[in-house]
Structure 1
Amino acid sequence: MPQLEPGMARIRIKNLSLRTYIGIKEEEILNKQDVIINLSIVYPASDAVQVNDIQHALNYRTITKAVIQHVENNRFALLERLTQEILDLVMTYDTVLYAQVEVDKPHALRFAESVSISLAARRG
């Protein structure tokens, strides 16, 4: 995760718990499962700090609602695909300079708490 430069802000959305169709086995295709999503988003926040107005900030509520809608209304065979689609969605916001997404699939392995995939993107 990159070091924050002056004027930049990092938003972290932690442990967003959703249910979706994720997997390749018949039982996974037929039944929704829990996924846990963590987002880290970096954007320039100087204006938001100075003006103290939501119009100058990256609205994390709007982003979270978009992620919820996308995850809960689609089907995914692979964690990699789900993670990439969330990352792509976050990067559609022009002020996002960097984002990292981690998606956990609890109890995907018998003796593990979860399996997760992390992906990141940086705006040129």
Structure 2
Amino acid sequence: MATPQHDPQHIATIRIKNLRLRTFIGIKDEEINNRQDVVINAVIRYHADRAVQFNTIDEALNYRTITKKIIQYVEEGRFLLLERLTREVLEIIMSHEQVLQAEVEVDKPHALRFSDSVSISLNAHRGDEEHSLD
């Protein structure tokens, strides 16, 4: 079977900007016992050929579905490290087979005195072995 050809002009970039959530994040008692703010930004790339051609949500990558999964996972979770939280959000995004590439940055506001926030960013490409949730 022939591999479908994709128009390089139809690689879509979805940006989820400043998704503000509350979760348990950190290693100090105060952090373990109290929810804190995190701010999530994600950049997601996928082939949008069929979405462009057919103009239906069934042919597009549904960013609303992805965002709902992220919200539920983060707000119900407990995390010691920003690195772990960032990786798990990235895995949620990469679990959608349409995604070619994604980058996630998670900010923890007020994590350091005199700083607005501390952030961690990670990225993955389709074919990378680390993106599965197994």
Regarding TM over 0.5, the answer is yes
Aligned to 1:32: 35
1:98 aligns with 2:117: no
* Counterpart Cα distance in 2 of 1:89 and 1:48: 21
**1:78 to partner: Cα distance:** 0.1
Pick aligned residue for 1:55 from 54, 58, 71: 58
Alpha-carbon deviations, 1:49-87, whole Å to 9, x = none?
110000000000000000000000010000000000000
The answer on 1:70 being equivalent to 2:93 is no
- Give the Cα–Cα distance (whole angstroms) in 1 for the partners of residues 68 and 79 of structure 2: 19
Q: Deviations over 1:78-109 (max 9, x none)?
A: 00000000001110000000000000000000
Matched, 1:123 2:119: no
Q: Once the 2 structures are TM-superposed, how far is the Cα of residue 7 of structure 1 from its aligned partner? A: 1.6
Identity %: 65
Using the TM superposition, give the Cα deviation of residue 115 of structure 1 relative to its aligned residue in structure 2, in angstroms: 0.2
| Cα separation, 2, equivalents of 1:59 and 1:87 | 16
- SS for the counterpart of 1:97 is strand
> Secondary structure of 2:99's match?
coil
Take 1:16 and 1:25, find their aligned partners in 2: how far apart are those partners? 24
User: For structure 1, which runs of at least 5 residues remain unmatched after alignment?
Assistant: none
Q: 1:20 aligns with which of 23, 32, 36?
A: 23
Question: Residues of 2 paired with 1:122 and 1:10: CA distance?
Answer: 14
SS in 2 for 1:39: strand
1:111: how far off? 0.5
- State how many pairs are aligned: 120
Q: What's the Cα RMSD here?
A: 0.5
Structure 1 residue ranges (4+ consecutive) displaced by more than 4 angstroms after TM superposition: none
Deviation per CA, 1:23-48: give whole Å up to 9, x if none.
Answer: 00000000000000001000000110
Three-state SS of the structure 1 residue aligned to 2:67 is helix
